[in-house]
Chains A and B, each alone.
Chain A
Amino acid sequence: MWKLRSFTRPDGTPITKKWLRGATSELKAAFLVRMIHLVKLPADGWDRPDVGQLRHGECKGLYEIVLYANKIQHRPLGYFSGKQEFTFLAFAEERGNELDPANICETAQTRRALIENEPNKEKKRVCDITLLERRTNRNAKK
């Protein structure tokens, strides 16, 4: 089973949280289902057409999850940060074979460096994320 991680903002909030808060129900569902499928696949299952490797320029070394929702091509970007571990770094849309915003790969690479080069574990800008969770009895609504 794959572990999913997310780059966090300075206050500790995962960037996935901010992105999904602004997402439509359709995009949330598309993302959730895609990731639920992906976390169960072997490493060679993370390939086209579900996942794309970015090979050029600033994007080299990054991977994109290929999502389509609300007639928009969405591209969560990240990298393989360990064995069976994927870390989300940034979120973009694709328009005419170009990522939008145009500098998103630069942003993602900067964030990757922040994660990988921070020697102090306490200050690392990354956290584990879960897709679905079972509420405890205390939190379950009757």
Chain B
Amino acid sequence: MLKSDKAFRDTFALEFVKNSIPNQLKALRKERDWTQDDLGREAGKPRNVITRLENPASHIPNLATLYEMAIACRAALLVKIIPFSRLLKEMDAPFSSDFAPAIDSKEEADALTQWSVSFDGAETGDSELPVSERANLVAVGGNPRKSANQRVLSLAPLRLVSSNRTVDSVQDSQNPTRNVSVNNVSLAR
């Protein structure tokens, strides 16, 4: 499914952003023993805005808002474009401990082939997907400006990372991949 179902991958990437932004903000706030009011004061925003930002069902905030939140948390905002298989690794899920990062199209294809969505412990069917389609995982349509924003924001995983992780991420970003599929936004301390 990860390899053959484009709609699934697109939504998976979108849902990742929708869940990871609120989770990171909430985790960072709790790490500081801040209430939503406290974070709101730091960010110069009312509490209901913080509540909304911490809700996965809300609209994905724009980059300016994310930057403001990062600054309010004495953090930084890091935006990356990464292969889909890298997203799986970045999710730091239990399945990813031995997941090799993809560095080119072949490895990306191999990486996606090696994983399947299970839900019940049994494999769901995957069929081969042309490399050309794998390389074009971002669905964009309609208003060009809106679409560009969606490309940056809707599919953008947001991450809070430690200072060590940040160094790693910057080094990684100097190693461009050919099969880029997913944007990644990070808040870095």
Contacts and interface: CB of A to CB of B under 8 A. Distances in A.
Interface of A: 1, 6, 13-14, 16-17, 20, 25-26, 28-30, 32-34, 36-37, 39-41, 45, 49-50, 66, 68-69, 127-135, 139-142
B119 A17 contact: yes
Contacts of B19: 33-34, 37, 50
Nearest to B5: A25
Contacts of A30: 11, 15
Contacts, number: 111
Contacts of B18: 33
Rank and list the top 7 A-B pairs by shortest CB-CB distance, nearest first: A29-B11, A33-B15, A17-B120, A25-B7, A25-B8, A29-B12, A133-B118
B119 A32 contact: yes
A24 to B, nearest CB: 8
Given A33-B12, A37-B19, A132-B118, 15 more contacts: A1-B94, A14-B121, A17-B120, A28-B11, A29-B9, A34-B15, A36-B91, A127-B121, A129-B120, A130-B95, A131-B93, A132-B115, A134-B95, A134-B99, A140-B114
B102 interface: no
Contacts of A45: 26
Nearest to B16: A33
Contact of A36 (B54, B93, B116, B126): B93
A114 to B, nearest CB: 18
A29 B93 contact: no
Interface string B8-32: 1101101110111011001000000
Contacts of B117: 28, 32, 131-132
14 contacts: A13-B120, A17-B122, A20-B120, A28-B11, A28-B117, A28-B119, A29-B11, A33-B12, A49-B55, A68-B57, A131-B95, A131-B119, A132-B115, A141-B128
A41 B88 CA distance: 17
A141 B113 contact: yes
Nearest to A49: B55
